[in-house]
Amino acid sequence: MEKINKIVEGANLSAKGIQELKDSSKEIGDIVTTITSFVDQTNLLSLNAAIETARAGEAGRGFAVVAEEVRKLPDGSAHAAYRISQLVSKIISEIDKSVNLVISERQ
């Protein structure tokens, strides 16, 4: 009976640890959403800067270089955020499988 209790206790601890991993993965997903929002805002700002540069004509030529560099900034961030999002989704899927396995073993 003592061995069974230890097995059940181990399964409960495993389930708790797996749930904490799942919660942390979801938090990472939320952070990725925030990063994606920053990328979108940066793209909009760079577009507005390009429009203002065009309206300024010759006087805005120097700023055009800066606006173009700002426009390039989010490109790498957007790709990284997408990859992180894909990995988090995969992790959550695997965690769900593990949780279901632990639950089925306890029954």
The predicted structure's pLDDT at residue 70: 80
Length of the chain measured in residues: 107
- Candidates 107, 92, 97; CA nearest to 11 is 107
Amino acid of residue 100: N
Going along the chain from its start, the domains and CATH numbers come out as 2-106 (1.10.287.950)
Q: What is the pLDDT of residues 86-105, one digit of tens each?
A: 988 888 888 888 878 777 76
pLDDT band at residue 107 under the 50/70/90 scheme? low
Strand spans (E) along the chain: none
